[in-house]
Amino acid sequence: MRLSLPRRAATALTASSLALALTLAVAPVAADDTDPAPPDGVGLPPVPAVAGLPIVSLPTDLLVPQFLGAPARERPIKHPRIAQAPTLAENGRSSMHNDAYSSDAYQVSGPLGRDLQVTSASYGIRECATMTFDRRGRIQALCGGLEGFVMMLIDPDTLEPLAQLETSRRDLSSGANPFTDICGGTYFYLDHRDRALVTTNTGELWEIVQTPGPGLKRTRSWDVLAGLPEDDCVVAVTPDWKGRDWFFTQGGYAGTLDRKTGKVRTVRLKRPKGPVEGIFNSVSADETGAVYAVSTHATYRLDAGRRGKPRITWRLRYDRGSEQKPGMLSQGSGTTPTLIGKRWLVIADNADPRTQILAIDRRPGVPRKRRLHCRVPVLPSGASTTENSLVAAGRSVMIENNYGYTGPASTIGRSTTPGFERVLIRPRGKCRVAWRSKEIAPTSVPKASVGNGLVYAYTKPEGAETFDAWYLTAIDIRTGNTAWSQLTGTGSQWNNHYAAIYLGPDGAAYIATMTGLIRFQDGDR
């Protein structure tokens, strides 16, 4: 199913201009109090609290379809076991990509499209790209805006902010583009005790705990970039199976942190005498003790050696193409390594003229020449790329096309290149494309519900560019057919700008926008 919407160019320009103005003009709403400074009295000044007001809707919402398709039937998909990391929050609750395997797959059944109830809340110019769910089911999110980054605790039903703590301030005079700068404000993880380990743009890792009230408080911090180049920054963090913390930098360093002693040890990710390799995405870990990362040149397995010092176990180069494609943050893979079962590690490369899905045998002892199991070209020739993680479902992955998305302005009055595909990973024989969809998802991190057999994407369909209409779309994982699409709204304030879709413990779906958060739940629940 594809949308066919009326085209009214004059209205489109007016609506888009108004939407952009609203996006830039919305400011945080002051509350009665703010969170205290860190216990040592040194840190960032407190920031005003924000109220969960509805995201601004436009009259053009009435000119586009509100719901297309029909409710889906629950058809679970068998998925290989995802091991539970001992110190991470429960699978599905711990990080942007759900679990240590970065599966982007949920066991819970998400919305089926029955009388969908849609709730939205505005937090000003602030997007909660990484969201987790604590043991009480509350949302704990790292939210970024023009001013910097804030950790927020949010009611999962009303979307009202319960507490917040600023973690980083942006230096807008540095020249960094706030819409593409991922230094210290994109990734964090929540552990099994509801403690967060958070990246900051000062090169520190913060431990943040929840306090009665409720509140959020920094308890400890570690400067993990000491001795590294001054222009480097922390991008990603994860624990390994022994609870050791790993961090990765945009300059291509991998490091371990011993929280008890504060000892930091690092290794450079690069081929001897090779070029600098950057890290622009998250990382994964498995029960063998390994941590996996994808640089701008290669895929890595790392293990901790004596006294926790990181060492490179193997490195596998991929085709990084000839240029940084429109839609990418770097010239290289835009994917986090996705782990499936005990054997596979799957990424997308940056090859010309078509991106390829690579299935890698990550098992210990596999000969180097046999480590790359298969590669499958995907998406349109000359217009293919993804800056978002692959989504696992069964022994397959799904990829969305982000070609042409260069920032919020690139989808005002237009959309990007279509393409959403599923690739089957076969233990024997060739891997292959199972289906191709023409849905257009400019920038979302899609998610699968293996509990109901649907994959969710955030789409801006052909024809929707006239009114800048955005939809949550559910696609049948088995067939690639679109089941339904639910309008969120018209205007650039509904752009999600690389944020992920999430499913809560009760099956509600969430998507962050540049100005807030949206919740979707079936009406019969």
For 327-382, how does the pLDDT look when each residue is reduced to its tens digit (9 = 90+)? 999 999 999 999 999 999 999 999 999 999 999 999 989 999 999 999 999 999 99
Residue with tokens 């019969």: 524
C-beta of residue 152 within 8 angstroms of C-beta of residue 143: yes
CB atoms within 10 A of CB 4: 12
The sign of the CA dihedral 500, 237, 326, 144 is positive
Longest CA–CA separation in the chain, Å: 66
- Higher local confidence (pLDDT), 179 or 328: 328
Residue 46, sorted as left (phi over 0), alpha (psi -120 to 50) or beta, turns out to be: beta
Whole-number Å distance between alpha carbons of 45 and 217: 13
3-state secondary structure (DSSP) of residue 108:
coil
Quick one: average pLDDT of 17-37? 36
Whole-number Å distance between alpha carbons of 161 and 139: 9
Grade residue 5 by pLDDT with cuts at 50, 70 and 90: very low
CB atoms within 10 A of CB 282: 25
CA distances from 340 to 165, 172, 287, 454, 502 (A): 35, 40, 12, 18, 19
Grade residue 170 by pLDDT with cuts at 50, 70 and 90: confident
* Distance from chain centroid for Cα 145: 16
Grade residue 507 by pLDDT with cuts at 50, 70 and 90: very high
* Residue 118 pLDDT > 80: yes
> What is the structure's pLDDT at 49?
59
Lowest mean pLDDT among 62-71, 152-161, 176-185, 391-400: 176-185
Q: Which two tokens stand for residue 425?
A: 């990973």
- Higher local confidence (pLDDT), 75 or 464: 75
> What is the structure's pLDDT at 177?
63
- Each residue of 132-158: pLDDT tens digit? 999 999 999 999 887 889 999 999 999
By percentage, how much of the chain surpasses pLDDT 90?
77
Grade residue 311 by pLDDT with cuts at 50, 70 and 90: very high
Q: Where in 109-225 does DSSP place strands (E)?
A: 117-122, 126-133, 139-145, 148-154, 161-169, 188-190, 196-199, 204-211, 215-223
Quick one: average pLDDT of 211-237? 94
Grade residue 33 by pLDDT with cuts at 50, 70 and 90: very low
By percentage, how much of the chain surpasses pLDDT 70?
87
Whole-number Å distance between alpha carbons of 337 and 346: 6
* Residue 43 pLDDT > 80: no
Whole-number Å distance between alpha carbons of 447 and 386: 14
Report whether the peptide linkage leading into residue 28 is cis, meaning its omega lies within 30 degrees of zero. Answer: no
Domains of the chain: 9-521 (2.130.10.10)
- Each residue of 315-341: pLDDT tens digit? 999 999 999 999 999 999 999 999 999
Quick one: average pLDDT of 243-266? 95
CB atoms within 10 A of CB 81: 9
Q: What is the mean pLDDT of the chain?
A: 88
pTM as predicted: 0.90
Rg (CA), the chain: 21
The closest alpha carbon to 15, from 481, 467, 420, belongs to 467
> What is the structure's pLDDT at 524?
77
The closest alpha carbon to 397, from 382, 378, 372, belongs to 378
Instruction: Tell me the pairing of strands 291-294 and 298-304.
Output: antiparallel
Q: Which two tokens stand for residue 456?
A: 């969710």
* Distance from chain centroid for Cα 34: 28
Beta-bridged to residue 118, according to DSSP, are 520
> What is the structure's pLDDT at 41?
33
> What is the structure's pLDDT at 8?
28
- Higher local confidence (pLDDT), 175 or 314: 314
Quick one: average pLDDT of 295-300? 97
Residue 138's contacts (CB-CB under 8 Å, 6 or more residues apart) are 153, 154, 155, 156, 162, 214
Whole-number Å distance between alpha carbons of 283 and 105: 16
Whole-number Å distance between alpha carbons of 95 and 500: 10
* Distance from chain centroid for Cα 155: 21
Grade residue 42 by pLDDT with cuts at 50, 70 and 90: very low
Q: Which two tokens stand for residue 105?
A: 């797959």
Whole-number Å distance between alpha carbons of 88 and 109: 22
The closest alpha carbon to 82, from 63, 69, 95, belongs to 95
